[in-house]
Structure 1
């Protein structure tokens, strides 16, 4: 059938609308999502900014639906791969409080420190009390170097003691630029001597080579899963080192390419480790889940995690960008005078131009979801939407190519973390 009409017209007739963002609300209004996601094994739900309350609520409600009605088995969050193991242990009945494990396991970006995330993790723990197949929590992004190296050391002590001297060399070198804040680490790394940087890169690569060549033997000893996990901890260190070199101008300037490659690998690893019918809800920023290459002059090679996942999984990967109409949003800004190296600022949403996909949504429903794959075949103006919200500004993106669906929320606010965060010592203009 030939395309006719506008995307706005299509939305009025065919968009999925939900009655509530309340995670505890009945789930029947989300039933149309079952057909939209089909048999996909990885469904990514993004956000246009971190620290936004309504995006946490959206993910919690979708997680409930996908677990209870579609058999999803894991929740992969934008948390460090290594540190997030503490949260996974807790949601499966481990010791501690939700505040303690969220502080440890969700990383220095503090994405776990808000009431909405505490509620989501508590729901996972309660669900697992009676679940035949426990729902797993997993981190998907590069960890802080020291925790990852500690996890590798724990494995090598009993599996390959001959490799420990290399590991200790890396840990010694890493002391020159270690901080919980990535912004502080970037500054420390850039200021370090090139000889130290090169020694770090070479030694990490040597240890990675050793562990790769030991894979067949370790599997023959019944250590396949332990070895794969330790190797993923180390690959995070290796990817993190490449990111630092890129930032310092000593690599290929491809932005977050290394981080996105690791994110995709972590999700695929989780899929391979899980049950044969396992399915994953991936919750990370919109910029990571997009399926298209990020084109910037002089930066060929910036492939988002969503690009890698789409190439690996085909139709088994679905990317849903979450965005908003008005209200407030959050900006994460590096600040040298802040104890964490960054501060989160509360902003009003800017006005929307006609080229922004959000401008087409004229509904006040708490949630509207549009299947862009279906809409594209029916509308004539899909090519005109070349912008969408990101934090407090608009970013350029061919929306219909980059995402499979849009989840639209008319009004957003910041989480309680934004008000409670430590304050900068730097005077703001």
Structure 2
């Protein structure tokens, strides 16, 4: 129990006011930089995939942690092959005649606005310029599981150039997937109808790539890239098969893959490497502090804490009361700017708005037993598909002090700026989602 200066218990509003710090400029992030600077992993969330303030403050915090605390890599909720090409540019290795917006224009998986937006481009232009003056350059990597065909294609290219005698294993996997015309949903549904799949082929491919990518020595970047693509193919094949069942295992497979990728990156980059992880709050905030846990779901933030311990992991969440956001009406539909309704009564957002009505930074201490931090309330989570009229479906019951180590409260927010308008997608990935998201 948290007490006021007179010895009486605090109310939730009093605890909020006692913890709140101003949030107006990057200098106001000092308490969070001090808290996160010694960690090995700092996971920075977002309450939507389409809000300017979430992306802008995440970029500001990342800049400071890179410059002042020695963070050396960024892993994002994006595809490995796309982000690998971006990493090669941001570290000054490929495509140096381009700017960030031109490289991001190559992202073509719906929803492209998640990464191909002005906010990310501005940060990456900064990172590219900073990297050119650094000996140890900060990398930018994808953690996600969706790129089955793209990763398989990358493996074929690498084997053809370096290990042509291993091509038969890759071609077996390619031939197995070929009838599905690069459509993972078609493959997944086919495995529901007939008891045949490509699991043996992709496992065989993974074993072969592991054998041929110098497993007894420290991998160079090119070998690490092909090995990670093989891990993606194996994880994606299983993910798509499980996804069509409609249960929660597909969510777990995806977040376990993201956590495994973060661990592989940390090992590859060395014991002094320190990583920033960018993903939605539903991946970043510890699932054990939400109703996801009762549904048997885990997530990236929980796995990082369990694997590495709380001193080495800092989880940062975002929240806002209302404004506008970029989202779509349905999977594969064009993006548009939508209103975000005012916070629902008895939610964390409502309580913060009623108490503060101004942006604020919260860095939680060791004692999180107070009436706000220990209280389970709804916490808004907006996905890439959004219906403002159905706000009740965008709420994750959350114990704030257990879910995050810090929270950035943005009050009023506005939509981010996509680099191009999203066309209607012929096919779109059907992302699994936690309860209320």
Consecutive unaligned residues in structure 1, runs of 5 or more: 21-26, 336-340
Question: Residues 18-97 of structure 1: matches in 2 within 5 Å?
Answer: 18-20=23-25, 27-93=26-92, 94-95=94-95, 96-97=98-99
1:15 to 20, 23, 39: 20
Q: Which residue of 2 aligns with 1:257?
A: 252
Is structure 2 residue 412 aligned with structure 1 residue 417? no
Cα drift, residue 200 of structure 1: 1.4
Retained in 2: the 8 A contact 1:385–1:400? no
Cα drift, residue 13 of structure 1: 2.8
Is structure 2 residue 374 aligned with structure 1 residue 369? no
Retained in 2: the 8 A contact 1:79–1:107? no
Is structure 2 residue 237 aligned with structure 1 residue 241? yes
- Cα-to-partner distance string for 1:171-200 (whole Å, 9 max, x where unaligned): 233334455xxxx642x2344365877331
**Structure 2 length-normalised TM:** 0.82
Retained in 1: the 8 A contact 2:266–2:274? yes
Q: Which residue of 2 aligns with 1:6?
A: 11
Distance in 2 between residues matched to 1:47 and 1:399, nearest whole Å: 14
Q: Which residue of 1 aligns with 2:263?
A: 268
Q: Which residue of 2 aligns with 1:103?
A: 105
Cα drift, residue 88 of structure 1: 0.8
Residues 100 and 195 (structure 1), Cα distance of their counterparts in 2 relative to 1, 3 Å cut: farther
Residues 87 and 14 (structure 1), Cα distance of their counterparts in 2 relative to 1, 3 Å cut: same
2:138 to 135, 139, 144: 135
- Cα-to-partner distance string for 1:299-321 (whole Å, 9 max, x where unaligned): 53x21111211111112111111
Q: Which residue of 2 aligns with 1:290?
A: 285
Retained in 2: the 8 A contact 1:42–1:279? yes
Q: Which residue of 2 aligns with 1:346?
A: 337
**Structure 1 length-normalised TM:** 0.83
Cα drift, residue 141 of structure 1: 1.0
Residues 322 and 297 (structure 1), Cα distance of their counterparts in 2 relative to 1, 3 Å cut: closer
Q: Which residue of 2 aligns with 1:338?
A: none
* Structure 2 residue matching 1:199: 3-state secondary structure: coil
Residues 162 and 277 (structure 1), Cα distance of their counterparts in 2 relative to 1, 3 Å cut: same
Cα drift, residue 147 of structure 1: 2.1
Cα drift, residue 79 of structure 1: 1.6
Distance in 1 between residues matched to 2:236 and 2:45, nearest whole Å: 23
Q: Which residue of 2 aligns with 1:192?
A: 190
Cα drift, residue 46 of structure 1: 0.6
Is structure 2 residue 264 aligned with structure 1 residue 279? no
* Structure 1 residue matching 2:374: 3-state secondary structure: helix
Distance in 1 between residues matched to 2:224 and 2:38, nearest whole Å: 27
Q: Which residue of 1 aligns with 2:399?
A: 398
Q: Which residue of 2 aligns with 1:202?
A: 200
Cα drift, residue 134 of structure 1: 1.1
Retained in 2: the 8 A contact 1:355–1:386? yes
Q: Which residue of 2 aligns with 1:323?
A: 319
Retained in 1: the 8 A contact 2:287–2:298? yes
- Cα-to-partner distance string for 1:366-414 (whole Å, 9 max, x where unaligned): x42212344614x234333321111153222333322222111111111
Residues 373 and 354 (structure 1), Cα distance of their counterparts in 2 relative to 1, 3 Å cut: farther
Residues 376 and 105 (structure 1), Cα distance of their counterparts in 2 relative to 1, 3 Å cut: same
Is structure 2 residue 154 aligned with structure 1 residue 151? yes
Residues 220 and 2 (structure 1), Cα distance of their counterparts in 2 relative to 1, 3 Å cut: closer
Cα drift, residue 422 of structure 1: 2.3
Superposition RMSD on alpha carbons, in Å?
A: 3.0
Distance in 2 between residues matched to 1:317 and 1:189, nearest whole Å: 37
| Bigger shift: residues 394-403 or 314-323 | 394-403
Retained in 2: the 8 A contact 1:87–1:105? no
Distance in 1 between residues matched to 2:381 and 2:69, nearest whole Å: 30
* Structure 2 residue matching 1:395: 3-state secondary structure: strand
